[in-house]
A and B are shown apart, each in its own frame.
Chain A
Amino acid sequence: MFGSAGWVLAKEEAQTALQPARGRKTRHDPPAKSKIGRVATPPAVDPAEFFVLTERYRQYRQTVRALRQEFVTEVRRKAHEARAGVLAERKALQDAAEHRELMAWNQAENRRLHELRMARLRQEAREQERRQAEEAAREAREAEAWAQLKEREVLQLQEDAKNFITRQNLEARVEEALDSPKSYNWAITREALAVKPQHKGSRGPDEHNTHPGAMGVKGLGLI
C-alpha cells in the first residue's frame, strides 16, 4: 500500500546516492570549464500526460479545498460550542453554583473564626482586668505598708525627740552625764578584749588575764 510513495521517496534518495559530489560547490564557486557551453534542458513534457496531470491536479485541489472548508467549519463550530454551547452553559452554571457554595462556606468559616476571635479577645480583656486589679491591690498594699512604715518612723522619731538634747536641757543633761557612773575611758584589742587604764588594786576575776589591765568586754557590763 505504501509501496509507490516509498518508491517516490526512495527514487530521490537513489538519485542523491548516484551523485555523491552533488552539493559539493557553493553558490559562490565558479562553474567548471567543462560546463561552459552547457545549456540546461529540463526533461521533455508529454502534452497528453501534462493535460491529464493538470486535470488530476484540478480535481485534487477541488477535493482538498472542500475538505479544508469542512475542517474549518468543524473547528469554528467546536470553538463556538466551547464558548456558547449547551455544555458550556451547563458548566458555567455549575461553576457559578460551586462559586456560591464556596463563598458561603468561606463566609461561615469567617463568622466562626470571628466568634472565636471575639471570645478570645473577651477572655484576654477579662484576664487583663484581673491582672490590673491585682496590680492595683498590690500597689495599694505596698503604698499602705510604706505609709505605715513612715508613720512608725515618724512616731519613733517623735518618741526619740523627747530624749533629744535641746538648749533648755543642755546643762541638765551635761550634769546628768557627768554624774553617771558609766565610764567611756576604755579601748578594745584585736582579740575583743577591752582594755582599761590601770588602777591600783585590780578586780577579782581579772587576775587570770595576760595583761593586768585587760578585761573581757562582758565584765564591763556594756554588753
Chain B
Amino acid sequence: MVQLTTVLCKAYHGGHLTICLALSGCTNRPFYHIMAAHKCPRDGRFVEQLGSYDPMPNSHGEKLVALNLDRIQHWIGCGAHITKPVEELLGLSGFFPLHPIVITNAERLRWKQAQEVLLAAQKTDTEATETKEN
C-alpha cells in the first residue's frame, strides 16, 4: 500500500512563523492557547497569543474557542503557517472555508451510522422473516 499522506502535505512553503496550539493546563485537563510562534518548543517562546481553545465541554455542553481574527489576519498577511487543528478551528468558525478533513470525517461518521442503522434494520427484518416462517 502506498503512503499517500505526502500528497496532502502543506502546499505553502517559506515563512518562519506558525500559528499553532500550545498545550497548558493540568493532568486530565488540557487547555490550548492559540499562539503565533517561531520554531520553538510547544510551550516555549512565542510572538503573540491569538486566542484559546478549551477541548473539555462546559456545563452547557459547549467547547469554547476564542480567536483574535484581526491579529490572525495580520500574521497570515505577514506570511505565517497554520497548523491543521488551527485550520479546522478557523474553518468551523467561518473565517476560513471548512477543512476537507472535517467534512470527510463527518461523511464517514454518517456513513457508519447509516450502515449501523441498515444492519439493525436488516437484523430486525431477518428476525421478522424467521418468526414469520416459524
Q: Measuring CB to CB, which residues of chain A are less than 8 angstroms from any residue of chain B?
A: 1-2, 4-10, 13, 41-42, 44-45, 49-50, 52-54, 56-57, 59-61, 63-65, 67-68, 71-76
Kindly list chain A residues whose C-beta atoms are within 8 Å of the C-beta of B99.
60
B74 near A75: Cβ-Cβ < 8 Å: yes
Total A-B residue contacts, Cβ distance less than 8 Å: 78
Known A5-B102, A71-B76: A45·B4 in contact at CB below 8 Å: yes
A122 to chain B, nearest CB (A): 63
A208 to chain B, nearest CB (A): 122
Q: Measuring CB to CB, which residues of chain B are less than 8 angstroms from any residue of chain A?
A: 1, 3-4, 7-8, 11-12, 55, 57, 62-63, 65, 73-74, 76-79, 85, 87-89, 92, 96-97, 99-106, 109
A25 to chain B, nearest CB (A): 22
Known A41-B1, A71-B77: A7·B12 in contact at CB below 8 Å: no
B74 to chain A, nearest CB (A): 6
A65 near B88: Cβ-Cβ < 8 Å: no
Q: Besides A59-B97, A67-B96, A74-B73, 15 other CB < 8 A contacts?
A: A2-B62, A4-B105, A4-B106, A5-B88, A5-B89, A9-B85, A13-B55, A42-B1, A49-B104, A57-B100, A60-B99, A64-B97, A68-B12, A72-B78, A72-B79
Kindly list chain B residues whose C-beta atoms are within 8 Å of the C-beta of A42.
1, 3
A1 near B92: Cβ-Cβ < 8 Å: yes
B11 near A61: Cβ-Cβ < 8 Å: yes
B105 near A44: Cβ-Cβ < 8 Å: no
